[in-house]
Structure 1
Amino acid sequence: MSQTILYARVSTKDQNLDHQLTQAEAAGHKVDEVVADHGISGITTHLCGRPEGKRLYDKLRRGDVLVVRWVDRLGRNYQDVTDTIRDFMRRGVVIRTVINNMTFDGATSDPTQMAVRDALIGFMAATAQAQAEAIKEAQKAGIEASKANPAKYRGKKPSYNRETLLQVQSMLSEGQRPSWIASATGLTRQTVLRIKADPVAAHAAVDRWR
């Protein structure tokens, strides 16, 4: 009997897995089991190198469905993400994303459909890596700005922490509407728009209030 497994990943101890399951269920996925890695970076650690990622490979069988919020949960490295998705497809596993409602499987043998599918996988994997690199640069710039002005007035404390800020940036890079992001994160739409307009300043504000 086939099963539907949600794989979730959080990279800091402050992050919470609940919203990933809630989003999946709201999108219509009937999740049989959640497999999750905590405190794991998607940039430096490939899926097969994570404790629960390894277990995921052992659990999934032909006909099973693997649900992820987006491909960045599998990894933030282009080669790793594309290799992982293609490996699962060869095993007969169907991969579905909550955001954008994408489905990847190996059922088709039509070369044109295969080419389109593989191109889309590559694009999404490249976007995940580019997004991670952009966030890293914004963090670095924010830290440097904070160091350059250590005595500067801290300003109003931001209504978000680092984890929420990264979540907002991730959703923005995936094309989600500011109003939807605000609802999902508990922030105001105006706050989301400010983060979108100046992510460096947003990271600097978090650094000042660490």
Structure 2
Amino acid sequence: MPFIRAYLRASTEEQDATRARADLEAFAAERGLEVAAWYTENESGAKLDRPELFRLINDARPGDVLLVEQVDRLSRLTQADWEALKAHLAAKRIRVVALDLPTSWDAARASTDDTTQALLDAVNRMLLDVLAVVARKDYEDRRRRQAQGIAKATAERRFKGKQPDLERYSRIATLLDMGMSWADVIATTGASRSTVARVVAARRAETAPSVG
């Protein structure tokens, strides 16, 4: 049976990266399998440099399974970074199984039919590419809406100075999503603490549930 390594990820420290653990355990149990190793981290999926993900890859042996809840837990990467990650996975012959990609589920079982396995691998590579592109688009769309929401909130406060720097605001939001502290965000972007506070307030206002 394949050695299953489960990967759990959330974007920020405030989010629970272990939320999907029970679902992954249930998936394995239904197939008479057991997750042999867990790798958990709070890092942005848009970031290639993720210590626990690469620890998993370094620990893996040929034929091991990388189990994730959804493809976007593995990647919200740019195309270039996604190709780099795929190259690392291919070099170790790691099979990706995602709960939101049913065609990948058979990879969690050992197969003696090389032709069938090769066909499944080819299909899964194609579908992984599609889902990775969708995940990246969703990430970029959310960043754009976030920047627009910040600009709108700033305008509604009768901001009379220079127009808001949407690119900077978006970068601040992205760094915060990656779990960076306010102090590090300020040092990295050169923004004032009040600017970071405005970004945080605008994001909260944008995501607050509507009433009525």
Greater Cα offset, 80-89 or 59-68: 80-89
The offset of 1:21, in angstroms, is 0.8
**Partner residue in 1 for 2:7:** 7
Distance 1:27-1:145 versus aligned 2 partners, 3 A rule? farther
AA aligned to 1:142 is G
Tell me, in whole angstroms, the C-alpha distance in 1 between the residues paired with 2:126 and 2:90.
15
Q: Which has the higher contact order (CA 8 A, sep 6+)?
A: 2
Partner SS, residue 32 of structure 1? strand
Percent identity (aligned) = 26
> Partner of 1:100 in structure 2?
101
Number of paired residues? Answer: 157
Q: Deviations over 1:150-209 (max 9, x none)?
A: 38xxxxxxxxxx9xxx9xxxxxxxxxxxxxxxxxxxxxxxxxxxxxxxxxx99644379x
What's 1:32 paired with?
36
Shift of 1:35: 0.5
| 1:121 aligned onto 2:128 | yes
Deviations 1:21-60 (A, max 9, x none): 122123345322210222x2221x21xx222122112111
8 Å contact kept, 2:57–2:88: no
Residue 20 of structure 2 aligns to a residue in which SS? helix
- Per the normalisation by structure 2, the TM-score is 0.60
Q: Give the Cα–Cα distance (whole angstroms) in 2 for the partners of residues 57 and 206 of structure 1.
A: 35
Find the aligned partners of 2:45 and 2:53 in 1 and give their Cα distance: 11
- Distance in 1 (CA, whole Å) between partners of 2:102 and 2:75 is 18
State the partner residue of 1:145. Answer: 152
User: Counterpart of 2:86?
Assistant: 85
Query: How is 1:182-193 mapped onto 2 (pairs within 5 angstroms)?
Result: none
Change (3 A) 1:112 1:32: closer
Asked if 1 retains the 8 angstrom alpha-carbon contact of 2:11 and 2:44, the reply is: yes
Larger Rg: 2
- Write the distance in 1 (CA, Å) between the matches of 2:27 and 2:121: 26
> Which residue is 1:42 aligned to?
45
User: Matches of 1:14 and 1:6 in 2, distance apart?
Assistant: 21
Whether the 8 Å CA contact 1:25–1:31 is kept in 2: the answer is: yes
Query: Structure 2 stretches of 5 or more lacking a match?
Result: 108-112, 159-172, 178-201
